[in-house]
Amino acid sequence: MVIAARSIQLVLVTAPDQKSGRSLARAILQARLAACVNLVPGLESHYWWQAKLERSQEVLLMIKTTRSHLSGLEKLIVRKHPYDTPEVIALTLAAGNRRYLKWVKANLV
């Protein structure tokens, strides 16, 4: 299971609101760059932006994809995201349910 899991990526992206998050999720899925996108509302982010400490309400997108789709996924997000500098962080899985991992791979082009 560990070997199969390493090709799967969990990509984290924040968006300013549910509407933007849904729009990004739909574009990502229609382009077949991910098998699943979860939207987690109610995120409060604290961060530095342009030398100022900021706080925002955001939505977190948890995107399940493969390593081979990362480049295309990032390009799509940068092109369609309302932020000037969107967060795109990819994490490699260490392990996961074999059937789920197989499903992720099967649902990508």
109 residues of the chain, pLDDT tens digit each: 555 788 999 999 999 999 999 999 999 999 999 999 999 999 999 999 999 999 999 999 999 999 999 999 999 999 999 999 999 999 999 999 999 999 999 999 7
- What is residue 96's DSSP assignment? -
Q: Determine the Cα–Cα distance for residues 67 and 7; give it in Å rounded to an integer.
A: 6
Strand ranges for the chain from DSSP E = 8-15, 36-49, 52-66, 89-92
The confidence score (pLDDT) of residue 109 equals 78
Q: Where are the domains of the chain?
A: 2-96
The confidence score (pLDDT) of residue 2 equals 55
Q: Which two tokens stand for residue 35?
A: 């098998």
The confidence score (pLDDT) of residue 3 equals 56
Query: DSSP assignment of 54-84, as one string?
Result: EEEEEEEEEEEEEGGGHHHHHHHHHHH-SSS
pTM here? 0.93
> 3.40.640.10, 3.40.50.300, 3.30.1330.100, 3.30.70.120: which CATH number matches 2-96?
3.30.70.120
